[in-house]
Amino acid sequence: MKSLALGIELSTQSAKAVVLDAGSGCVAGGAQINYDECFPSYKTSGGVLPHDDPSVRQTHPLMLVEALEAVIGELAGGDLPLDRIGAMKIDAMQHCTVYTRESLIDRLASRTGEANPSEHFREVFSRDRAPIWEDRSTASEIEALEQALAPHGGARAVTGNRAEMRFPAAQIMKWAKEHPEEYEETHRIFLLSAFLTSLMIGRPAPVDTGDGYGSNLNTFDILCPGWSPEAIEAVERYIGTGNLSSRLDEMTAYDAPVGSIHRYWVDRYGFSPECAVLAGTGDNPATLLGCGGQAVVSLGSSYTVNGVLPAEAALPDGEFNVFGYTPGRCMALTCFTNGSKLHDRFIREYITDGREPTLEDWKVYGERFGHERLSEDEPLMLPYLLDESAPPRSAGIVRGGFDASDAGVNIRSLHVSQAVLLKMYSGHLASARRLCVVGGGSRSRVLRQLVADAFGAETYTIRGADAAAPSGCAVAAAKALTQSGYEEAAERYVQMDPESVVQPVSTHVEVMERLVRRMREWTELK
Ligand code: XUL
């Protein structure tokens, strides 16, 4: 009986795999690799290639091919019989695009058990870089896109999202205009999740609505997923040449089965040839399912606040984005580019003197937050290491009436300010009464309490909170194997950690409301 369900994630810095036993609901295994450590020859830092212009944030597509191979290799090296995996699904950082020549089609199909992945795919990329979601080099492109779509009501009316610097439309516009010869050689442009899924099935895989709706190239009809002729035409006009739609693959529903695993994986790692592959998706829709479809605050390298958007709701205005989710449904998400990156910086600056922090260092760091009682005059800061999108702001740390010298004040201010900003830009989840907190930051009780106080909502975390997205993929695969519904699958496979529940403190909730007002007034002046 093939009762194992595999979820894999390729995020900005690492690749993770989670295997669920669809029968018992237990976690049967997992694997994890870090790009900087595993592939030093690419010289990435946090998974991102070095570049003179800090607004340019890119990764290497060949490194991602190697990373997929490495994480599956690590899984195969353990005790788990991979031939018992009946279904699998991949998620990847959203908005990352991969550009390939026509030769990819043959290379995908012709892999054999012995093929060395980097040699095999070395020549297939028409662009040797893949722009990622942190890229902010496309300011003029989003302006041009909004202008071109203005007669149709603007990008939000056409695609569900305002024109975003980090989305594929702007990435493609900039690069194709600057490198027309490379664009000409490009046969396919993939969202990363669809590219990785293509590697699994040995032919181009469609993109799902979860990732495809974060492109500014999609229609906004969730019942009839596809590309928007108006958006495509606007991009083509900007580039000065046509044929963008022939370079984009089909769009399909979340979790649609897209084929069986390619022979290569069977021969090389012992997968069953019957292992079904589901459409890949973005890390955020995957995280949402990994949390059982409940409202989520994810405290990873970026912070996100997301939840299902009720179908009947008019699209409210705000800093958040809208992506497809399970068939016929949408999710709303606010993405804060500067999440735990700031804590990584502060711990090195204030606690370890530049050294890699240990668990003990993190404990010391947490203690520097100080007393739990919140007051109206908490020191506030605008903490941005990279350009931010929620709200759009340039990089820089702005301190409200204090300087960088006092470790305790700065560490406390960072914690409080991030919680205040999370709340301030998450109008779409204003009414949530319970929030599932995941990502590395969910280990901190202080952070879970601050989120509870900021939202006036109970917070809790779940089993495997560090890997909610690949777990979401494994839940989808287990759902496919057991032919159950989403709610049933969530009930069976998503396990709340009862010890983690934190209630909001009513006096703190009031203080947080005042801090939000203070932050709002202050940011309006800045
Ligand atoms: C979402 C976004 C980020 C990336 C991180 O719009 O840009 O959350 O998906 O991987």
**Phi, psi of 517, rounded to the nearest 5 degrees:** -65, -40
Is any ligand 1 atom within 6 A of the Cβ of residue 439? Answer: no
Give the C-alpha separation, 121 to 104, whole Å. Answer: 8
Helix (H, G, I), strand (E, B) or coil at 97: strand
Instruction: Provide the CB-side half-sphere exposure for 408 (13 A, CA).
Output: 4
Give the orientation angle of helix 139-149 with respect to helix 168-178, to 10 degrees: 110
Work out which ligand 1 atom sits closest to the CA atom of 92. Answer: 10
Residue-wise pLDDT tens for the chain (526 aa)?
789 999 999 999 999 999 999 999 999 999 999 999 999 999 999 999 999 999 999 999 999 999 999 999 999 999 999 999 999 999 999 999 999 999 999 999 999 988 889 999 999 999 999 999 999 999 999 999 999 999 999 999 999 999 999 999 999 999 999 999 999 999 999 999 999 999 999 999 999 999 999 999 999 888 889 999 999 999 999 999 889 999 999 999 999 999 999 999 999 999 999 999 999 999 999 999 999 999 999 999 899 999 998 765 556 666 789 999 999 899 999 999 999 999 999 999 999 999 999 999 999 999 999 999 999 999 999 999 999 988 888 999 999 999 999 999 999 999 999 999 999 998 888 788 999 999 999 999 999 999 999 999 999 999 999 999 999 999 999 999 999 999 999 999 999 999 999 999 999 999 999 999 999 999 887 6
What's the confidence (pLDDT) of residue 389?
Answer: 83
> Is the Cα dihedral 53, 181, 66, 218 positive or negative?
positive
Give the C-alpha separation, 171 to 188, whole Å. Answer: 14
Which residue from 56, 70, 57 is spatially nearest to 16, judged by alpha carbons?
70
Give the C-alpha separation, 34 to 434, whole Å. Answer: 32
Work out which ligand 1 atom sits closest to the CA atom of 133. Answer: 7
CB proximity list for 453: less than 8 A, separation 6 or greater: 374, 419, 504, 505, 508, 509, 511, 512
Give distance in angstroms: CA of 92 to centre of ligand 1: 9
Is any ligand 1 atom within 6 A of the Cβ of residue 304? Answer: yes
Give the C-alpha separation, 146 to 125, whole Å. Answer: 30
**Phi, psi of 61, rounded to the nearest 5 degrees:** -60, -35
User: Using an 8 Å Cβ cutoff, are 135 and 168 in contact?
Assistant: no
Work out which ligand 1 atom sits closest to the CA atom of 11. Answer: 10
Mutate to test the pocket of ligand 1, among 11, 12, 48, 133 (most ligand atoms within 8 A of CB): 133
Give the C-alpha separation, 300 to 498, whole Å. Answer: 22
What's the confidence (pLDDT) of residue 245?
Answer: 92
What's the confidence (pLDDT) of residue 469?
Answer: 97
Which residue from 475, 504, 473 is spatially nearest to 487, judged by alpha carbons?
475
Which residue from 4, 34, 2, 29 is spatially nearest to 18, judged by alpha carbons?
29
Q: What is the β-pairing status of strands 4-10 and 85-92?
A: parallel
Give distance in angstroms: CA of 134 to centre of ligand 1: 8
pTM: 0.95
Q: What is the β-pairing status of strands 257-260 and 276-278?
A: antiparallel
Mutate to test the pocket of ligand 1, among 57, 91, 166, 303 (most ligand atoms within 8 A of CB): 166
Instruction: Provide the CB-side half-sphere exposure for 334 (13 A, CA).
Output: 27
Give distance in angstroms: CA of 296 to centre of ligand 1: 14
Is any ligand 1 atom within 6 A of the Cβ of residue 302? Answer: yes
